[in-house]
Amino acid sequence: MTREDFVKKFQAELLANFPSGFQSWWPKFIFHYSDVNNIASVLNAGILYSRDQAIRQGLMNNDNANDAVISGTDNELKKYVRFYFGAKTPTQFRNEGIKTLASISNNAHCPVPVFLLFDFVKLLSLPDIHFSNGNIAAAKPEIYDDITDLKKLEFNYIYNRESLPSDPYSRHVIYCRHAEVLVRDKLKIEEFLKYICVRSEAERETLLSLMNKDVQKLYSDKIKVFTKDGIFYRDRLYVNKVTLSGQLLTIELANTKMNLFDVKTQYTVIDSGLTRISSYLQMATPTPLRFSFSVPVGPNGIDFSLFFDENLVYKGRLLPDTDVPF
């Protein structure tokens, strides 16, 4: 049996063992997520780099990892590109969405998460693939390089997303939920990438606006606004929709709780090239936010960017009287 045949057979067994819920389709994919700025860099380069390589090449625009967790991770493991067997990990729960400065601990913050979904069979069929039975930042994680050791992994725990009591059993399940796939140094993504998932149309516009034109053409059909359960928690603030009607720009926010942020807007009128930047200190976040422009927008609209506490949360080109970007 070839390596690929083994992985296909193993995948079929997983699909049979998890017939319902979002776990019924998880075995089709291997998951990777990061902030929209980092994912745009990955797509533009066509390569997903290890943490070490990304830092050396200046490609990690938003380091959303927990400093305490990273400092406790074996330096050798930082030389690997890291993927998860499942989404909605405990780390993602702590990081996902726009957080106030006071609620950010150890730099763990991913304001605009974007998921890359890779082909399960193709990725695990790589000859030098490694994988773990749990969180590789934990003490003495078990890491395998023999593909047949997939059978040793506890997928009933890896795919478990039920509420858990606080006890030793729960700690083991949480460890397993972080089970990872590891690729040394880098991965050229085009052959393996199946889908790119975002939480809203506004975040899709943001990702597209950060991508090079040729990369937009290559990947735009793969970008999906994923609103079902199974990838995102969707429990913190994010931008859902941005529209421009005449001189009035409206920003629809999800999960508003009247928190305070330093808000910055930046726009450029396409027809005139005029650029304006405005800052609003400790601004409350009702929904919707509205901004009026004192200058003519023109038929070709504006390029508009929105920042909360210096984090880019929206970027796109908006045409008057329409919410369709570009």
324 in a domain, yes or no? no
Distance CA 98, CA 311 (A): 8
Our CA dihedral for 154, 33, 75, 184, rounded to 10 degrees, sits at 80
In the chain the beta strands, taken as DSSP E runs, fall at 29-35, 47-49, 80-84, 113-119, 130-132, 143-144, 180-184, 186-188, 193-198, 223-225, 238-245, 248-254, 260-269, 275-284, 289-292, 302-308, 311-318
Question: Does 201 share its domain with 299?
Answer: no
- Structural domain containing residue 59: 3-225
Whether residues 65 and 197 fall in one domain = yes
Q: Is residue 232 part of a domain?
A: no
Q: Answer yes or no: is 323 within a domain.
A: no
Place of tokens 């998460």: 113
215 with 244, same domain: the answer is: no
Reduced DSSP (H G I as helix, E B as strand, rest coil) percent helix, strand, coil of the chain, to 5: 30, 30, 35
pLDDT for position 70:
47
Instruction: Tell me, yes or no, whether 231 lies in a domain.
Output: no
Q: On the CB side of 172, how many CA atoms lie within 13 Å of its CA?
A: 9
**142 lies in the same domain as 285:** no
Residues 99 and 124 in one domain: yes
What are 70-77's contacts with CB under 8 Å, separation 24+?
70/137, 72/137, 73/136, 73/137, 74/136, 77/136, 77/182
> Is residue 204 located within the same domain as residue 252?
no
Rg of the Cα atoms in the chain: 21
55 and 194, same domain (yes or no): yes
β-strands 130-132, 180-184: how paired?
Answer: antiparallel
**Are residue 264 and residue 218 in the same domain, yes or no?**
no
Q: CA-CA distance, 53 to 187, in Å (whole number)?
A: 11
- List the strands of the sheet with 311-318, edge to edge: 275-284, 260-269, 302-308, 311-318
Say how far apart CA 73 and CA 77 lie, in whole Å: 7
Q: What is the per-residue pLDDT for 71?
A: 47
275 lies in a domain?
yes
297: in domain: yes
Give yes or no: residues 187 and 312 share one domain.
no
Q: Which among 177, 192, 225 is the end of a domain?
A: 225
| 125 and 269 inside one domain | no
297 & 215 share domain = no
Q: What is the CATH number of the domain that holds 297?
A: 2.60.40.3080
**Per-residue pLDDT tens listing for the chain (326 residues):** 899 999 999 999 999 999 999 999 999 999 999 999 999 999 999 999 998 887 877 766 555 554 444 444 567 778 899 999 999 999 999 999 999 999 998 888 999 999 999 999 999 999 999 999 999 988 788 999 999 999 999 999 999 999 887 777 899 999 999 999 999 999 999 999 999 999 999 999 999 999 999 999 999 999 999 999 999 999 999 999 999 988 899 999 999 988 899 999 999 999 999 999 999 999 988 778 999 888 888 889 999 999 999 999 999 999 886 445 44
Q: What is the pLDDT of residue 51?
A: 81
Number of domains in the chain: 2
Domain boundary, last residue among 225, 247, 281: 225
Asked if residue 325 belongs to a domain, the reply is: no
Instruction: Tell me whether residue 326 is in a domain.
Output: no
Q: Is the bond preceding residue 288 a cis peptide, omega within 30 degrees?
A: yes
pLDDT at 72: 45
Q: What is the Cα–Cα distance from 77 to 33, expressed in whole angstroms? A: 18
Residues in the chain: 326
**Same domain assignment for residues 311 and 251:** yes
Q: Which of 225, 246, 277 is the last residue of a domain?
A: 225
